[in-house]
């Protein structure tokens, strides 16, 4: 039943009003929209966004909602290269008051188990986890169970870092910033040695990153059912 509940918001379409955009890092932009009163989601879910101010070949793309449900805004962040897709060019053209269409949010990448939790983000894959940890901070229901966030970025461009550091101060969430796969494996090993299959594992990042981390966890005898994934495509 929960599967259909998670998918049902996809049939609900809204137009949301653009407020502003800004750079998080050299190639990552954040876009802020007004949150409608009837709009709600579970922290970690994603929406389907559609360009409506102009006609383009592929006007629809999925993006994780990086804002927490308790925040009064819809925030999405994306990598935009020097040769962006037509969709991302259209996003950069948005002016305050313009609109995009949105379906959702929906999807299974949210915490629904009170046990120990390991969040593993690669690069722009931090977006669902920003929502998750921000919601924990906003609700003030800091869990007695262990929650750790491992954030790996080989370039060291950790977006949201200032926000994440504040969240870590205000909660018991442990956040580690990593630049190498070896260091990531060490942190994973530490968590697995303590909790193994009493823990839940959430992965967000490129397909390559999600695949190698998932394979590593399975080699450590972590059960497939304990691993949830959010794969990010279309980096240009």
Range of the domain at 206: 117-232
Q: In terms of domains, do 70 and 171 share one? A: no
Instruction: With residue 179 as reference, give the H or E element that holds it.
Output: none
Report the side by side order of strands in the sheet with 46-51: 60-64, 46-51, 99-106, 13-25, 28-34, 73-79
Rounded Cα–Cα distance for residues 26 and 85 (Å) = 17
Running DSSP on this structure, what letter comes out for residue 68? -
Q: Note the pLDDT of residue 8.
A: 58
CB atoms within 10 A of CB 65: 30
DSSP string, 22-33: EEEETTEEEEEE
Contacts 24+ apart (CB under 8 A), 218-224: 220/188, 220/189, 220/192, 220/196, 221/196, 221/197, 222/192, 222/196, 222/197, 223/197
* Residue 152 counted as domain residue: yes
Domain boundary among 47, 81, 106: 106
Per DSSP, the three-state class of 155 is coil
In tens digits, what is the pLDDT along the chain, a chain of 236 residues? 344 455 555 667 899 999 999 999 989 999 999 998 889 999 999 999 999 999 999 999 999 999 999 999 999 999 999 999 999 999 999 999 999 999 999 988 898 877 899 999 999 999 999 999 999 999 876 566 789 999 999 999 999 999 999 999 999 999 999 999 999 999 999 999 999 999 999 999 999 999 999 999 999 999 999 999 988 765 55
What pLDDT, in 10s, does the model give residues 106-165?
988 898 877 899 999 999 999 999 999 999 999 876 566 789 999 999 999 999 999 999
Q: In terms of domains, do 70 and 146 share one? A: no
Q: In terms of domains, do 12 and 98 share one? A: yes
Domain boundary among 52, 84, 106: 106
CATH of the domain at 178: 3.40.50.80
Q: Note the pLDDT of residue 222.
A: 96
**CB of 26 within 8 A of CB of 157?**
yes
Running DSSP on this structure, what letter comes out for residue 38? T
Q: Note the pLDDT of residue 112.
A: 82
Q: In terms of domains, do 76 and 150 share one? A: no
**CB of 135 within 8 A of CB of 163?**
no
* Residue 111 counted as domain residue: no
Which of 130, 121, 133 shows the shortest CA–CA distance to 205?
121
Q: Note the pLDDT of residue 216.
A: 97
Q: In terms of domains, do 69 and 124 share one? A: no
């Amino acid at each position: 039943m929960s599967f259909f509940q998670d998918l049902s918001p996809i049939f609900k379409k809204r137009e949301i009003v653009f407020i502003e955009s800004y750079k998080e890092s050299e190639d990552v932009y954040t876009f802020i929209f007004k949150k409608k009163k009837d709009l709600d989601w579970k922290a970690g879910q994603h929406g389907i966004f559609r360009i409506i101010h102009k006609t383009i070949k592929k006007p629809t793309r999925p993006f994780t909602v990086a804002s927490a449900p308790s925040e009064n805004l819809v925030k999405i962040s994306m990598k935009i290269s020097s040769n962006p897709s037509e969709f991302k060019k259209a996003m950069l053209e948005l002016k305050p008051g313009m609109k995009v269409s949105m379906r959702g949010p929906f999807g299974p990448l949210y915490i629904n188990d009170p046990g120990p939790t390991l969040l593993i983000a690669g690069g722009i894959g931090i977006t669902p986890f920003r929502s998750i940890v921000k919601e924990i901070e906003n609700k003030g229901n800091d869990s007695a169970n262990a929650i750790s966030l491992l954030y790996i970025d080989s370039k060291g461009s950790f977006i949201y870092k200032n926000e994440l550091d504040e969240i870590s101060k205000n909660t018991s969430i442990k956040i580690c910033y990593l630049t190498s796969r070896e260091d990531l494996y060490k942190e994973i090993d530490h968590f697995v040695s303590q909790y193994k299959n009493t823990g839940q594992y959430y992965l967000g990042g490129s397909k390559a990153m999600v695949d190698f981390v998932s394979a590593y966890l399975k080699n450590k005898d972590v059960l497939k059912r304990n691993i949830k994934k959010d794969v990010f495509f279309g980096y240009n």
